Chains A and B, each alone.
Chain A
């Protein structure tokens, strides 16, 4: 194949290939936002979203997730720090980078008097580099992908919250994207819709799209994400792969027995921390002991074991350990 600049427009669209594989799809350095009222919404965070990852951006409502996302997309100007999207500095490269980024920011927003389809057409018309010749096809494909084809001609006003959310995702999928920024994408969706979004995100990730998914739902992040960043009161308190983060927390062992008092004595004697008894169930942090050794000790001590389980630390444990709070806190 003869390689000339002219072939660029003829070659088929190539799926997202990192411009700089060593870099990341999103990086921030000391990114901070202090609002005019003096409130520090984001206190200097260093995000690192690797190419090809599904990055769960976790935090309770009010922890600074949305402000961060607004800064990433150039809607809000940071008061300190810098950031890059797809390896290019923002906001200076916004015109070049943002067409390759699909975004859902703080819920969907459309014109209520227009149909879902007309709203997408409006978004597409605003895109200077979108090809008008393929607009109709791309809009239909996006609607189909989120299951809105049947409601395409209904006014947005008549959409349910779940349909609105789907339309917002459809707008983010009007073009092939290299990075998707999805802020609470399953808000207002029923369990079926939530599952569909999860499948959609996994499908996109399989195509090589990097996904930054903000959520206050731990289970959502737990199920689809490869990486996690946890925000708490404007700070990024933890960041890494899901396994790394889980590794910071110890597993718990729990035993079902007819003699819980004996089990408690035995586990305490082993030096396990946080021993809890509740009815016939006794649990404790395994610490650095092998669960097998714990079970053997229980049996040796004559504790009648009916069932013995090891619970890997859930993201919720990690989160509570990091923030010292339950997850439903709005700050």
Chain B
């Protein structure tokens, strides 16, 4: 046996299979865990029920009276079913979406820690950075699915119960039905992007505790607090820095032409939140003692 072979034998036990540079197996496993989890499925089901409820309610008695009351676009539904999707997205945005996201992120690290599976993942080994990235990707996939689901079910119910046709935008211009559906898709994506900040905050909180419930509750409380602060006029100076400040600002997507400058600013603030809380989560995750 040559010296080279001896050296090779020294690092044997590494399987004959040559590992790929990037493996997506853990990510796929994580997506399976998130989407096959009964609880997460129920949450998606509840979210999907909201457009149905709104559609049926409006269909049963077309709203009249002061159109400044109720959620946005409620009064446009009777004339165009597409608006069921937009109304539903606005309704789920302040509470249901943050809650759905917090449930998934709360489970992400704290859940694994409380079960004890975190230590076994790390010993496999999965690098802590990689685990965090996979967990964030799983949460993003879930909230994207949730936003698209609400939009899709909204459009479906709208088509079923109401007349549909060319969509009149906020700017007063009319686009074709196809153009309107593209706008609904963009709004769903915008909502998902806003929730990405909540997911980053949630992930950070999740690295702080071994209790998934505590992580979920804390994240929801933060999301609500941000919205409450946003309604206090004395805190005017703070409002542009709140992560919830831009959630309902997707009106710019519903004008012709779209106001992309304002949207870019909103997305930048969200990206800053993702960056800051992502870094905090990383700093905590890569240094913490796993003693659960």
Q: Are B13 and A129 in contact (CB under 8 A)?
A: no
Asked if B60 is at the interface (CB within 8 A of a chain A CB), the reply is no
Asked if B23 is at the interface (CB within 8 A of a chain A CB), the reply is yes
Q: Are B23 and A128 in contact (CB under 8 A)?
A: yes
Q: Are A8 and B8 in contact (CB under 8 A)?
A: yes
Partner of B15, one of A94, A129, A178: A129
Name A's interface SS: loop
Q: Are A16 and B289 in contact (CB under 8 A)?
A: no
Q: Are A17 and B119 in contact (CB under 8 A)?
A: no
Q: Are A171 and B120 in contact (CB under 8 A)?
A: yes
Residues of chain B from 1 to 39 with CB closer than 8 A to chain A in the complex: 2, 4-5, 8-19, 23, 25-26, 28-29, 33, 37-38
CB distance from B218 to the nearest CB of A (A): 21
How far is it, in angstroms, between the C-alpha of A203 and the C-alpha of B147 when the chains are bound? 54
Residues of A within 8 A of B259 (CB): none
Asked if B122 is at the interface (CB within 8 A of a chain A CB), the reply is yes
How far is it, in angstroms, between the C-alpha of A175 and the C-alpha of B123 when the chains are bound? 13
Partner of A110, one of B29, B38, B117: B117
Q: Are A128 and B115 in contact (CB under 8 A)?
A: no
Asked if A130 is at the interface (CB within 8 A of a chain B CB), the reply is yes
**Known contacts A77-B289, A95-B125, A176-B13; A109/B33 CB under 8 A:** no
Q: Are A109 and B12 in contact (CB under 8 A)?
A: no
Q: Are B123 and A14 in contact (CB under 8 A)?
A: no
Q: Are B121 and A126 in contact (CB under 8 A)?
A: yes
Query: Which residues of A are interface residues toward B (Cβ below 8 A)?
Result: 1, 3-5, 7-19, 67, 70, 73-77, 94-95, 98-101, 103, 105-113, 121-134, 171, 175-178
22 A-B pairs whose Cβ atoms sit less than 8 Å apart in the complex: A3-B2, A10-B16, A13-B13, A16-B13, A17-B12, A19-B11, A75-B119, A94-B125, A95-B125, A106-B119, A109-B119, A110-B117, A113-B38, A126-B124, A127-B124, A128-B23, A128-B25, A128-B126, A171-B120, A176-B15, A177-B13, A178-B13
Going nearest first, the 4 A-B pairs with the smallest beta carbon separation are A109-B116, A131-B17, A14-B12, A129-B19
